[in-house]
Structure 1
Amino acid sequence: MTADVEGPVWIPSLPPTLEQFLAPNLQPIPVLPILALILATAYTAGAVRLWTRGRRWSALRSTCFLVGCIFLAVVTGTGIEGYGYELFSVFMFQQLTLMMVIPPLLILGSPGTLLLRSTPHHGFGRLTLRIALGALRSPLARFALHPALVIPLVALTYLGLFLTGAADTLLRTWIGHVGLEIAFLSIGVLVATPLISADPLPRRTSFIFRVVDTFVEMQVHAVLGLVLILTLTPIVPFFAAVPESWDIDPAVDQSLAGVLAWTYGELPLLVILIVTLARWERRDTKQATMLQTENDAELDDYNAYLRQLSQNTAPRAPVRSVSDPSSSPRTRDADSQ
């Protein structure tokens, strides 16, 4: 027995193995693999344009972005995508990768900065820059990147999706499944951008909000993981129809999905938390050093002023007047005679 999915979908018949997971089995309409190819091509073209013009662009940033594109193509363009229609654990792995791994890699590539530097300021390029800057400065962008929006998005994506039955309804159609994957990727970008982005943003999130957001996300993952591990009945009935020939217990597979949510989903957040704390400490140290330097400069200026003031007010030796008879040598000689 297999899950019934409406739409152009390829569902594997062989039991899951590592070889089957990584086999290049594209879906009939590979939306996200095509998106990965487009993103990688556009980014590479921008980087090459800068390099050919003798302008510097970080190879590390390029590597991060392209690795993110590769991960996007792998989790949605190989056998993993097909098994994600049958196994809850595979679908959870896809969701966590699309939300927690790929977005930070894409954001660390600073695609916004590359767009502003590599796009020509004439013709179609000028129109592209106007659209990009207009979108960046819009009220919608400020709202979407507000740190207070992170917690509701994360709670809705994890707890709301699986505990309300929404996942069971959406996963039964190809449009719903692909729509969820696009939503995971988009929400991951919205959540990670305020935390780690170095691109120009309409607002900057304070470090205290970054730490709070990351900590709350970790708690949501832990709660979802515990619920999936401790619940013996299928939370998402769609994944209860595992092929009998695969010899996989849906309850065990659901527990594995919970373990992934608690471990694999927590690891990127732990890395982000460590990086955030390190950046916070580095910024405070830099500010303290600059303040100390300014104070030292002000103290040196004040000490120099005091020295100059003391020199101007020091008592001077009496100056004798030439017209004073008592000071003339002749007068003294006449007096002595």
Structure 2
Amino acid sequence: MRRRLPTPSPSEFWSIWHVDPLAVALLVLAAGTYGWLVVGAHRSRRPWPWWRSLSFAGALALFAVLQFGIVGMYDQTLRWAFVLRLALLFFAVPTFAAFAAPVTLLRTGGPARLAHAASAVMGSRPVRVLGTAIVSPLVALALFCLLLTPLSAALRTSSVGAVAITVLVPLLGFALLAPLSEPGVLRSSTFVTAEFLLAFVELMLDAIPGIVLRITNHVLDGATVMASGPAWFPSPLRDQHLAGDLLWFIAEVADVPVLISLFVRWQRTDRREADDVDALSDEEMDALTRAHLARRD
């Protein structure tokens, strides 16, 4: 007889739904605000690209699945559901939202006062710091290292923790990713090259918590009582191993859009620096060359 795995079947996975009032309110607010800004952009005769609106719809759809589906239903009971929800809210939802460029849309179709405020925020020092591949791997590593401690169980079973994750984790992920995809934060080509190297280091750093969860043969968060539920509910240790598999996989895949964003930023930076050089006169170019050679002497 074939042994049944401690995971839901595809039909069970997609048949379990519930209503989350907070998620409904957030979805209505986000969709309404983005739609209002798109209308404003069209009214100002600056049509908004359809693919950006589609990307934002994808972010809302994924958020809805995570909140209303089986992951949101059992995230306080099962480690793998909690980890899947946390990781996708931090990585995937902000990725779709960042490619939708809501800050650029605000500066395009929003009120002038809000547009100026958005420009000021994007040019601020905190955003410039967050929008680097130096900070984001450290934040992700710190966040997922919490899963290796007893604080993970306390956060997973807390209603306050569930609300905080729903609201704050996507915002944190977006704050880290948006400066990479939004125009307006300028870097030198040397700095962007360094970011590429650090992003590859991130491929290894982000996977560490998932690997530890997967290979450890005791329950790290101290919650050793098996949860009651459907027949496919796993044991606490098997639940932890499933959570580690999911986190390991998601952490590796999530770096792909970051690398794409860095490549786009490098293209913009290289084009901007090339235009600056082309704009120099022959006398200015000679003076720049002499200054460069003098620094090397």
Q: Same fold (TM over 0.5)?
A: yes
User: Which residue of structure 2 aligns with residue 24 of structure 1?
Assistant: 17
How far, CA to CA, are the matches of 2:103 and 2:248 in structure 1? 32
How far, CA to CA, are the matches of 2:279 and 2:45 in structure 1? 37
User: Which residue of structure 2 aligns with residue 96 of structure 1?
Assistant: 87
On the 8 A contact 2:52/2:101 being kept in 1, the answer is: yes
1:46 aligns with 2:37: yes
Change (3 A) 1:37 1:220: farther
Change (3 A) 1:42 1:87: same
1:174 deviates by 0.3
1:52 deviates by 4.4
Of residues 61, 66, 88, the one that matches 1:70 is 61
How far, CA to CA, are the matches of 1:178 and 1:99 in structure 2? 14
How far, CA to CA, are the matches of 1:240 and 1:207 in structure 2? 48
On the 8 A contact 2:41/2:109 being kept in 1, the answer is: yes
Of residues 220, 230, 233, the one that matches 2:205 is 220
1:280 aligns with 2:266: yes
How far, CA to CA, are the matches of 1:74 and 1:239 in structure 2? 28
Q: Deviations over 1:76-116 (max 9, x none)?
A: 12232011122111111111211111111101111111111
Of residues 229, 242, 251, the one that matches 2:227 is 242
Q: What's the TM-score once normalised by structure 2's chain length?
A: 0.77
How far, CA to CA, are the matches of 1:241 and 1:68 in structure 2? 33
How far, CA to CA, are the matches of 2:229 and 2:26 in structure 1? 35
User: Which residue of structure 1 aligns with residue 291 of structure 2?
Assistant: none
Amino acid at match of 1:229: R
User: Which residue of structure 2 aligns with residue 85 of structure 1?
Assistant: 76
Change (3 A) 1:72 1:129: same
Count how many residue pairs are aligned between Structure 1 and Structure 2: 273
Superposition pairs for residues 138-177 of structure 1, below 5 Å? 138-145=124-131, 148-159=134-145, 161-177=146-162
1:46 deviates by 1.3
How far, CA to CA, are the matches of 1:289 and 1:134 in structure 2? 25
Amino acid at match of 1:163: L
SS at match of 2:48: coil
On the 8 A contact 1:172/1:238 being kept in 2, the answer is: no
Superposition pairs for residues 248-259 of structure 1, below 5 Å? 248-259=234-245
SS at match of 2:184: coil
User: Which residue of structure 2 aligns with residue 9 of structure 1?
Assistant: none
User: Which residue of structure 2 aligns with residue 106 of structure 1?
Assistant: 97
On the 8 A contact 1:86/1:241 being kept in 2, the answer is: no
1:147 deviates by 5.1
- Give the RMSD, CA atoms, in angstroms: 3.2
On the 8 A contact 2:84/2:246 being kept in 1, the answer is: yes
User: Which residue of structure 2 aligns with residue 309 of structure 1?
Assistant: none
How far, CA to CA, are the matches of 2:87 and 2:118 in structure 1? 28
Amino acid at match of 2:169: F
User: Which residue of structure 2 aligns with residue 200 of structure 1?
Assistant: 184
SS at match of 2:17: coil
On the 8 A contact 1:171/1:177 being kept in 2, the answer is: yes
1:216 deviates by 3.6
Which stretches in structure 1 are left out of the alignment for 5+ residues? 1-14, 299-337
User: Which residue of structure 1 aligns with residue 173 of structure 2?
Assistant: 188
On the 8 A contact 1:16/1:83 being kept in 2, the answer is: no
Q: Deviations over 1:140-162 (max 9, x none)?
A: 44454465432431221011x12
User: Which residue of structure 1 aligns with residue 290 of structure 2?
Assistant: none
How far, CA to CA, are the matches of 1:138 and 1:226 in structure 2? 36
Q: Deviations over 1:239-283 (max 9, x none)?
A: 743226524222222112111122122112134325534663686
Q: Give the percent of matched residue pairs that are identical in Structure 1 and Structure 2.
A: 23
Of residues 268, 277, 287, the one that matches 2:254 is 268
Which stretches in structure 2 are left out of the alignment for 5+ residues? 1-6, 283-297
Q: Deviations over 1:208-261 (max 9, x none)?
A: 343244234322232112111111111223474322652422222211211112
Change (3 A) 1:129 1:50: closer
User: Which residue of structure 2 aligns with residue 307 of structure 1?
Assistant: none
How far, CA to CA, are the matches of 1:141 and 1:290 in structure 2? 25
Amino acid at match of 1:254: Q
Amino acid at match of 2:239: D
Q: Which moved more, 1:245-254 or 1:42-51?
A: 245-254
SS at match of 1:237: coil
